[in-house]
Structure 1
Amino acid sequence: MRDNDGRKLDHKTLEVLRMRAIEQVAAGAHPEQVAVALGFHKNTVYGWLAKAREGGRDALKAKAVPGRPPRLSATQISRLYGLVAGVDPRQLSFEFALWTREMVREVIFREFGARLSAVSVGRLLRTMGMSPQRPLHRACQQNPEAVQAWKTERFPAIRAEAKKAGATVYFADEAGIRPDCHAGTTWAPVGRTPVVANTGARFSINMLSAVSAQGALRFMLHEGAVNAEVFVEFCKRLLADAPGPVFLIVDGHPSHRAKAVAAFVAGTQGRLRLFFLPGCSPQLNPDEWVWKNVKHDRIGKTGVTSKADLKSKAAGALRRLQKLPALVRGFFRDPNLTYITA
């Protein structure tokens, strides 16, 4: 097939060329010369001229390509979107909480009486702007009213008070990492599952960190449980690095609410103040993104050989993130966290 073969073109482009061909012939060009110039057979151009004589220019316009009519109307597709988007399948009497193509297929038959294949359902879901995604899990004990009040009332007041006091607002959290934290995929021959060598020993490292909306990250590693004493040590280090007062926002972990912590905070004479997030609301804490970056994006894709190796990898991942303030600031662009910089 020639490089300038007109059969390679789409329908709209062909329509433009047909119009151009009859215009050039009408201007005095020979049909066979026009055919050569546009990359068509002479009989094709003569056919266009015949159609133009019989039906005018409208006869040369591109026509819709016929195909099987859709099984669902636009109204039905809109209703299906409302049934699937943001709805727990258990509300529609399904056993599982995650949508599958088979479940959507059943909803389509139940609601509209139409039978579609699983492949067709997948194609339909994509045309509706959906894709398979790993969901976030939220505690059912979360209080939506408290979350909304935190976003619209409590935190704006904390931010205003921090600005007045010249304080830095940090969000802090703790997380553990173990050698059996695995994430990611790799390429391998079909049917041959690749193997990554790791230690079989069981141990963990606890990490404490705090982030600010300006991109600052402070962290500490600890072997053993995180209690009030450990948290106080982290707070001391945080204060040592801060040029002024620190407003530290944490969750309701027992180590944060311990009497020893309260006594330490009182002894800082206002340099450190603690504020507590609503219960069961990790999505309000940008520090959760630190753990995703360190555990899932970094350590989970490596092989751990020993406790020292795990600690080294955790420290390396946190130091790397510490040198990327733009990435840390990007955590705050999570839709659940825009209240912080609004």
Structure 2
Amino acid sequence: MRYPQGGGLTAERRAFRERIRMEAAGMFAAGQVNTVMAKQLRVSLRSVQRWRADWQDGGRQALQSKGSAARPKLSEALFTVLEQELARGPVAHGWPDQTWTLARIKTLIGRRFHKTLTLSAIAQMLHRHGFSHQVPARRALERNDDAVTGWVKDTWPPGGSAAAALDGWIVFEDEAGFSMTPPTSRTWSRRGHTPVIRVRGRSRGRVSVAALCCYRPGERSRLIYRYILHDPHGGHTKAGRRSFSWTDYRDLLSAAHQQLGAPLVLVWDNLNTHRAVSLRNWVAEHDGVTVVQLPV
């Protein structure tokens, strides 16, 4: 591979090639012919011819590695600064969305370091430093990480104890909407670290799915779900909704309770429908369902 990661030879690869050339120098001194050398060294005949011309002009020293072909325009120290700026996100630098493109990175380099690089040079530099072009993950703007930490510490332990006391199932519920159009935008980030962009925690998908992930010690896990298919021309369900109503959740929980045959400790978020008065009254009237609400 001549240009690993699109960014020139590594030090190890340069050293390997130099060993091949030094071996060729010994074969030149021994009087071997080019065609035999090319076969033994597993290189092209043209390479052997070029090495022989250099060897005749300057000896073994002419075949030694001269190091990297060119020094990078951004030093390691400057790239560290660039990585910090990239981590701040495009919005912090005045762009309207949260994806990095080569053109934006080029502009950022010009603003921050007063240097000009071509788009291909920027791509090679990013690849050399372990970056790749990725589809980012999505995280809701409404998420409050401090509230989540407090919930895990204070609220959830009683919920887990309730499931054990009732000999019931711990049930995690969530819903999602899906469209038939896959995401197309990508952004640059270090390989192995999927970038995350902040988006509205709502969906206008053509298919809505609500699912229960059910767990109890000594039992295999269960997945119980319901889905709604929306009109392909942008219409709604028969009830005039694009999402589940409180009666849909009621029916899903009733079916799960009947199928599992044991009390449910339900963990779900603060979706408006989850907090509907009718649904809360129904839960209060049924001893088989205990609700643990996730943090707002």
- Normalised TM-score (structure 2): 0.63
1:246 aligned onto 2:264: yes
Structure 1 segment 1-342 matched on structure 2, within 5 A:
12-18=15-21, 31-32=31-32, 36=36, 39=39, 61-67=64-70, 69-85=71-87, 87-128=88-129, 129-139=131-141, 141-175=142-176, 181-184=179-182, 206-212=208-214, 215-221=221-227, 223=237, 224=239, 225=241, 226-269=244-287, 271-279=288-296
Q: What is the root-mean-square deviation in Å for CA atoms of aligned residues?
A: 3.9
Residue 78 (structure 1) shift: 0.6
Can you list the C-alpha shifts for 1:299-338, whole angstroms capped at 9, x where unaligned? xxxxxxxxxxxxxxxxxxxxxxxxxxxxxxxxxxxxxxxx
Residue 176 of structure 1 contacts residue 205 of structure 1 at CA under 8 Å; is this kept in 2?
yes
Counterpart-to-counterpart distance in 2, 1:119 and 1:72: 14
> What is aligned with 1:335?
none
Secondary structure, in 3 states, of the residue corresponding to 2:32? helix
Secondary structure, in 3 states, of the residue corresponding to 1:257? coil
Can you list the C-alpha shifts for 1:163-201, whole angstroms capped at 9, x where unaligned? 454332222134456xxx32249xxxxxxxxxxxxxxxx
Q: How many residues align?
A: 239
Residue 125 of structure 1 contacts residue 131 of structure 1 at CA under 8 Å; is this kept in 2?
no
Can you list the C-alpha shifts for 1:46-83, whole angstroms capped at 9, x where unaligned? 986997xx77xx8765442523x211111110111011
Secondary structure, in 3 states, of the residue corresponding to 1:229? helix
Counterpart-to-counterpart distance in 2, 1:116 and 1:44: 33
Specify whether residues 83 and 212 from structure 1 end up closer, same or farther in structure 2 by C-alpha distance, changes over 3 A only.
farther
Specify whether residues 267 and 16 from structure 1 end up closer, same or farther in structure 2 by C-alpha distance, changes over 3 A only.
same
Residue 54 of structure 2 contacts residue 62 of structure 2 at CA under 8 Å; is this kept in 1?
no
* AA matched with 2:268: V
Residue 25 (structure 1) shift: 9.8
| Identical amino acids, percent of aligned pairs | 19
Specify whether residues 149 and 19 from structure 1 end up closer, same or farther in structure 2 by C-alpha distance, changes over 3 A only.
same
Please identify, of 158-167 and 114-123, the stretch whose mean Cα deviation from structure 2 is larger.
158-167
* AA matched with 2:223: L
* AA matched with 1:115: T
Unpaired runs of 5+ residues, structure 2, are 1-12, 40-44, 184-204, 229-236
Residue 21 (structure 1) shift: 6.1
Residue 114 (structure 1) shift: 0.6
Counterpart-to-counterpart distance in 1, 2:89 and 2:56: 60
The structure with the greater share of residues assigned to helix is 1
Residue 112 (structure 1) shift: 0.9
Secondary structure, in 3 states, of the residue corresponding to 2:181? coil
Counterpart-to-counterpart distance in 2, 1:78 and 1:163: 50
Counterpart-to-counterpart distance in 2, 1:79 and 1:134: 22
Residue 219 (structure 1) shift: 1.4
Unpaired runs of 5+ residues, structure 1, are 1-9, 186-202, 280-342
Specify whether residues 13 and 184 from structure 1 end up closer, same or farther in structure 2 by C-alpha distance, changes over 3 A only.
same
Specify whether residues 161 and 138 from structure 1 end up closer, same or farther in structure 2 by C-alpha distance, changes over 3 A only.
same
Residue 17 of structure 1 contacts residue 38 of structure 1 at CA under 8 Å; is this kept in 2?
no
- Normalised TM-score (structure 1): 0.56
